[in-house]
Chain A
Amino acid sequence: MGVARYIKDDKGAIQEVVYQSGIKVKPVYGPEDLDAAGFSYEQDLGEPGDYPFTRSLHPQGYRSRAWTTRQYTGFGTPEQTNERFKFMIANGQNGLNVAFDLPTQMGYDSDHPLAEGEVGRVGMAVDSLKDFLTAFDGIPLDRIGSGLTINAVASIMMAMYQALGETRGFDKTRISCTPQNDILKEMIGRGAWIFPVEHGVRLVGDSIEYAVKELPRSNPVSICGYHIRESGATPAQEIAYAFEIARAYIDTVAQRGITPSDFVGRFSFNFNVYGNLWEQVAKFRAARKIWAQMLKQDYGVTDKKKLFLRGLFGGGGSGLTKEEPENNIMRGAFYALGAALSGAQTTALCSFDEAYTIPTPRSALLSLKTLELLMDEVGLRDTVDPLAGSYFIETLTLEMADKIKEEMAWVKEMGGIVSGISEGVIQKKVSQQAYEFEKGLQSGKYKKVGKTPGKEDEGAEVELHRYNEEWVGTSKDSLAEVKRTRHEKAVADTLRVLEKAAKSKDNVMPPLVDCCKAFATVGEMADVFRQTFGEWQEPVFY
Chain B
Amino acid sequence: METKNKIRVLVAKPGLDGHDKGAKIVALALRDAGMEVIYSGLHQTLDQIISTAVQESVDVIGLSIMSGAHLPICKKLTAMMKEHGLTGVQLVVGGVIPRQDIQTLEQMGVAAVFPGGTAFDTIVTEINQLFA
Please give the residue numbers on chain A whose beta carbons come within 8 Å of chain B beta carbons, in ascending order. Answer: 102-103, 105-106, 108, 114-118, 121-122, 186, 189-193, 230-232, 322, 356-357, 431-432, 434-435, 438-439, 442, 451, 454-457, 459, 467, 538, 540-542
Contacts and interface: CB of A to CB of B under 8 A. Distances in A.
B4 interface: no
B81 interface: no
B25 A434 contact: yes
A459 B118 CA distance: 13
Contacts, number: 102
B68 interface: yes
B72 interface: yes
A217 B119 CA distance: 48
Contacts of A230: 21
A35 B94 CA distance: 52
Given A191-B42, A540-B41, A118 B15 contact: yes
A467 B68 contact: yes
B130 interface: no
Contact of A454 (B17, B40, B72, B119): B119
Interface of B: 11, 15-21, 24-25, 27-29, 31, 37, 39-43, 45, 67-69, 72-73, 96, 98-99, 114-122
B69 to A, nearest CB: 4
A55 to B, nearest CB: 35
B99 A442 contact: no
Contacts of B41: 538, 540
Interface majority SS (helix, strand, loop, mixed), chain A:
loop
Given A117-B67, A118-B67, A439-B120, A459 B99 contact: yes
Contacts of B29: 435, 439
Given A118-B15, A121-B68, A191-B42, A431 B98 contact: no
Given A230-B21, A435-B29, A541-B39, A322 B116 contact: yes
A431 B25 contact: yes
B16 A118 contact: yes
Contacts of A191: 17-20, 42-43
A542 B11 contact: yes
Contacts of B72: 116-117
A106 B16 CA distance: 7
27 contacts: A105-B16, A106-B16, A117-B72, A117-B73, A191-B42, A193-B18, A231-B21, A322-B116, A357-B96, A431-B24, A434-B21, A434-B24, A435-B28, A438-B120, A451-B117, A454-B121, A454-B122, A455-B119, A456-B114, A456-B116, A456-B117, A456-B122, A538-B42, A540-B39, A542-B11, A542-B27, A542-B37
